Amino acid sequence: MKFAIVSVGNELLRGDIVNDNAKYIAQKLAALGHSVERIVVVPDRVDDIVEELRRLLKYDFIFVTGGLGATHDDVTAEAIAKALNRSLVLDEKAVKQVKRWTDKKEVVEKVAKIPAESEVIQNDVGVAPAFITGKIAALPGVPAEMRDTFEKIVKRFEKLEVYEEDVIVEGKEEDFLEKLNSVVRKFPDVEIGSYPKPGYVVLKFRGKKERVLEAKREFLS
Amino acid sequence: MKFAIVSVGNELLRGDIVNDNAKYIAQKLAALGHSVERIVVVPDRVDDIVEELRRLLKYDFIFVTGGLGATHDDVTAEAIAKALNRSLVLDEKAVKQVKRWTDKKEVVEKVAKIPAESEVIQNDVGVAPAFITGKIAALPGVPAEMRDTFEKIVKRFEKLEVYEEDVIVEGKEEDFLEKLNSVVRKFPDVEIGSYPKPGYVVLKFRGKKERVLEAKREFLS
């Protein structure tokens, strides 16, 4: 399956924090053999989020993180509802989830208001529940809460057959460039990534196991 | 000015690495008072990069990182040329830059081929030069090379007047939500971000100095 990740938050666009949530989600999906096609960071503004969600609906599934809290800049639920032309409703299951943490009316009425026909995913770490609406899942932005709710959702996606092996080569890319390019041409069904580090290069071979091993053997020969 | 950042690389979409480059660039631009409107991570595929560049040209300037090396998956220069309808040419200044590091023909002819009418920016840390073409700057993906070339370019952008102060509040967002929302309503010209941490919340006030101080005073009163 092809996924997109949308990270909502001005704090990411200002470089206050690094996008660890996206890395976490991407890594888990890759380990299952799926591909993430885009990671997009957007400001806490409804129209910007709607614009991105609508265009990314061409992929099979979208994970959205952040903007589910109770403050003025938490607008993700509203944006998802708008992107899918659904209304925002006070969800009874979400109300129950929020009330496990707080009875404050202002919080309950903001955080439990989610797109109509959503499935609520319990958050066992913090106030805001996650939810799934159509092919969009919205997760809280606080990393521990994101992970808790993500793990409950990701189980639903099948583990695909995929095999990966890394080869570490001393030196620089340019020293083995011709060899690498010839292997790439010969194995179009093996994804080969080349990641230069100081003093060595990591080559990642990814695909069907047999072909990965063949390509690797060819490269090392 | 409004900026976008495009990070090219399958390694980011697979969660192999975190997007530190985007954080670095975003932080530097924010410190100058500019705003980053989008950070987009795309695969090493020409058409995907072209699609993103074309739509992000609505912003004032785009920083692209990654995909400038000599291997098969380095397609950023080709994509930028296509997005701007320019040809790819072997740039004499780029050739000189690459030859400071290597004479390998395969490397020189790949890395020094950049969009026509580009301005070459010398990379003092690695092989691939950065370049500016129209309102797009392409920087290498290796962090030390990215920073070296970014610093040479960012000097050109004006430092705008912007003032920021953080307030750290013990407890949870919901404990001071009403107060916060009333300050947000009263100071529409002050950007207020609320970032919950375990046990405390960081509030960021950003805008004209006088108004930031007023808003902060109001919140703490």
pLDDT in tens, A89-113: 999 999 999 999 999 998 999 999 9
For A24, name the nearest residue in chain B, comparing CA atoms only.
B15
B2-154 against B163-220: fold identical: no
If we measure between CA atoms, which residue out of B102, B181, B124, B79 comes closest to residue A69?
B181
| A71 has a pLDDT exceeding 90 | no
Q: Write out residues 91-150 of B within 8 Å (CB-CB) of A.
A: 102, 104, 106-107, 127, 142
Question: Can you tell me whether residue A126 is helix, strand or coil?
Answer: coil
Q: Residue B173 — pLDDT band, cuts 50, 70, 90? A: confident
Which residue among A11, A41, A180 places its CB closest to the CB of B38? Answer: A41
ipTM: 0.93
And the tokens for B94? 């780029």
Residue A73: its chain B contacts at CB < 8 A?
192-194
And the tokens for A104? 């404050």
Residue B72: its chain A contacts at CB < 8 A?
180-181, 184, 192
φ and ψ of A30, to 5 deg: -65, -40
Measured CA distances, A79 to A14, A52, A121, B14, B193 (Å): 21, 10, 18, 27, 18
Paired strand residues for B165: B205
| B195 has a pLDDT exceeding 90 | no
Min Cα distance A117 → chain B (Å) is: 27
| A197 has a pLDDT exceeding 90 | no
The residue length of chain A stands at 221
**Would you tell me how many other CB atoms lie within 10 Å of the CB of residue B221?**
7
Beta strands B61-65 and B2-8 are parallel
Region B31-57 average pLDDT: 97
The CA distance from A108 to A98, in Å, is 6
Least confident of A2-6, A51-55, A72-76, B172-176: B172-176
Q: For an interface test with A, give the residue of B6, B7, B16, B178 to mutate (most A CBs within 10 A).
A: B16
Tell me the average pLDDT of chain A: 95
Instruction: Please state the domain extents for chain B.
Output: 2-154, 163-220
Q: Residue A146 — pLDDT band, cuts 50, 70, 90? A: very high
| B148 has a pLDDT exceeding 90 | yes
pLDDT in tens, A161-179: 889 899 999 988 888 888 9
| B38 has a pLDDT exceeding 90 | yes
Q: Does domain B163-220 have CATH number 3.30.70.2860?
A: yes
- The answer to whether the beta carbons of residues A21 and A9 sit under 8 Å apart is no
Work out the percent of chain B whose per-residue pLDDT is above 70: 100
pLDDT in tens, B106-118: 899 999 999 999 9
Which residue among B14, B127, B181 places its CB closest to the CB of A26? Answer: B14
Say what the pLDDT of residue A72 is.
85
Fold of the domain spanning A2-154? Molybdenum Cofactor Biosythetic Enzyme; Chain A (3.40.980)
Min Cα distance A36 → chain B (Å) is: 6
Residue with tokens 């910007």: A48
Q: For an interface test with B, give the residue of A2, A18, A50, A71 to mutate (most B CBs within 10 A).
A: A71
Question: Can you tell me whether residue A41 is helix, strand or coil?
Answer: strand
Measured CA distances, B2 to A19, A53, B8, B39 (Å): 20, 21, 20, 12
The CA distance from B37 to B204, in Å, is 18
Region B184-200 average pLDDT: 89
Residue B15: its chain A contacts at CB < 8 A?
22-30, 36
Which residue among A18, A35, A43 places its CB closest to the CB of B20? Answer: A18
| A119 has a pLDDT exceeding 90 | yes
Report CB contact under 8 Å: A72, B104. Answer: no
